[in-house]
Amino acid sequence: MLVTIAPDAPESTALALLTAAAAADLEARRAEDGHGGTVVGVSGNLPADVLSLPGIVAVKTQHKPFMLASREGRPHAPTVVKLGDVRIGGGRPVTMAGPCVVEGREALLEAATAVKAAGADILRGGAFKPRTSPYAFQGLGEEGLRYLAEARESTGLPVVTEVMEPDQVGLVARYADMLQIGARNMANFPLLRAVGKTAKPVLLKRGFSATVEEWLMSAEYVLAGGNAEVVLCERGIRGFDPAFRFNLDLNAVPHAKDLSHLPVVVDPSHGTGHRQLVGRMALAGLACGADGLIVEVHPHPERALCDGSQTITPAELAAIVRSGRAIHAALLETAGDESAAVSLALHS
Ligand code: PEP
Ligand code: MN
């Protein structure tokens, strides 16, 4: 059940709903409705008497199982996730870029400076890497996190990096501005609960065999834990054709945005596996309403320690950023609404 409470309602109304839910042995969570009001999501139905308390403006008994992530409780106010001055969602598309893995201090600083010059808003790079082979380079761990923090200092770019285990969350959150949950961990529920308890935004990649509903249920774990700052990332699903490492599922972008108020970004690097496809699929992602991109970029892709075949150069990134801005501007013009988010303007 989703109960919406007006901004000027007495605090006692929300408290009474939470108390009634606890008395009925139901889970209940508070969230913002995006217009100053509150939504209380309850894992069942509350008795009628509490539903007529002052300030209650809407009660929905039929809704998606991902009740906090769903648009139903927050219909016209897309979530905007903030990393310092960078805003993800509801505006200009955001670009996250950097190497697959943090390779070393100088290499990272060089990459960070180059992606910043190319127009990136956020630096990416893995310190803890989920490698398919136990013999492949697993990342520099905390040393890599230190280099990311140094790169942030020198470029001003916030950093996003992967966390793989619940016990690592505290450590990674001390260095990173945004915690990445990798595709292979999308359904690691203890990890989702752990990042749900932090105050750091979360980049939640879609598992490569996960349905959109499963992906949104994973987002729900984070939101239910008390962390409202989740960005969804479509990064490709398994297809049958060995020509592609993964298939970037662009259907999922507008679909996830129809179902959820959370921002959605696209990863055309893992979503294709081929650097020559990255630019065009990045732009396709923006054209179908993505709020941004995460792209693997390296000053010398042929020398990259990880995922070089899908890694582009800073110059290629600069071209994507330029064309991406033009696509965004064209969509806004067509939608005729300067202030609306492209995606919102397109589908509302
Ligand atoms: C990555 O971003 O480098 C990564 C490992 O991504 P994914 O979890 O989508 O495979
Ligand atoms: Mn990678």
CATH code at 90? Answer: 3.20.20.70
The residue segments making up the domain with residue 235 are: 81-332
Question: What's the 5 CA to ligand 2 centre distance in angstroms?
Answer: 43
Determine, yes or no, domain membership for 249: yes
Q: Are strands 292-296 and 264-266 parallel, antiparallel or unpaired?
A: parallel
Residue 232 CA to ligand 2 center (angstroms) comes to 17
| Site residues for ligand 1, CB cut-off 6 Å | 100, 126, 130, 182-184, 205, 235, 270
Of 131, 132, 180, the residue with max ligand 1 atoms within 8 A of its CB, to mutate for a pocket test, comes to 180
Instruction: Answer whether residue 108 is part of any domain.
Output: yes
Is the same domain home to 115 and 6?
no
Same domain, yes or no: 44 and 85: no
344 occurs within a structural domain? no
Task: Give the max Cα distance, the chain.
Answer: 66
- C-alpha span between 19 and 28 (Å, rounded): 9
Ligand having the closest approach to the CA of 131: 1
Quote the ligand 2 centre to 100 CA distance (angstroms). Answer: 4
Q: Which residue bears the tokens 């932090």?
A: 198
Are 32 and 124 found together in one domain? no
What lies within 8 Å, CB to CB, of 49 at 6+ separation is none
- Quick one: which of 166, 259, 251, 244 has its CA closest to 213? 259
Q: Are 35 and 105 part of one and the same domain?
A: no
Q: Across residues 28-44, what is the average pLDDT? A: 96
Same domain, 89 and 6: no
Identify the pLDDT of residue 333: 87
Same domain, 45 and 93: no
Burial letters 240-261, b for 16+ CB under 10 A, else e: eeeebbbbbbbebbbebbebbb
Q: Answer whether residue 42 shows pLDDT above 80.
A: yes
Same domain flag for 318 and 204: yes
Coil, strand, or helix at residue 331? helix
The CA–CA distances, whole Å, from 95 to 89, 144, 174, 214, 255 equal 12, 21, 23, 25, 21
CA-closest candidate to residue 295, choices 264, 262, 281: 281
Q: State the DSSP code for 206.
A: P
Residue 303 and residue 249 share a domain: yes
Q: Helix, strand or coil for residue 262?
A: coil
| Confidence check: pLDDT of 284 > 90 | yes
Four-residue CA torsion sign, 87, 203, 277, 247: negative
Question: Is it the case that residue 223 has pLDDT exceeding 80?
Answer: yes
Model confidence at 338: pLDDT above 50: no
Tell me, in angstroms, the distance from the centre of ligand 1 to residue 30's CA.
31
Q: Is residue 97 domain-shared with residue 37, that is, in the same domain?
A: no
pLDDT digits (tens, 9 = 90+) for 306-329: 999 999 999 999 999 999 999 999
pLDDT of residue 63: 97
**Residue 348 is assigned to a structural domain of this protein:** no
The total of structural domains in the chain comes to 2
Give me the CATH number covering residue 28: 3.30.70.1140
Report how far residue 171's alpha carbon sits from residue 179's, in angstroms, rounded to the nearest whole number.
11
Q: Is residue 75 in a domain?
A: no
Residue 346 pLDDT exceeds 70: no
Domain match, 11 and 97 both: no
pLDDT in tens, 231-261: 999 999 999 999 999 999 999 999 999 999 9
Q: Is 125 in contact with 107 (CB distance < 8 Å)?
A: no
Residue 221 scores a pLDDT above 70: yes
Q: Best substitution site from 162, 164, 181, 208 to test ligand 1's pocket, by max atoms within 8 Å of Cβ? A: 162
Which atom of ligand 1 lies at the shortest distance from residue 124's CA?
A: 2
Ligand nearest to the CA of 267: 1
Please count the other Cβ atoms lying within 10 Å of the Cβ belonging to residue 28: 20
Residue 297 lies in a domain: yes
| CA atoms of 309 and 301, how far apart (whole Å) | 7
pLDDT digits (tens, 9 = 90+) for 172-182: 999 999 999 99
* Residue 341 counted as domain residue: no
Judge if 22 and 126 occupy the same domain. no
Q: 306 and 258, same structural domain?
A: yes
Mean pLDDT across the stretch 97-124?
Answer: 98
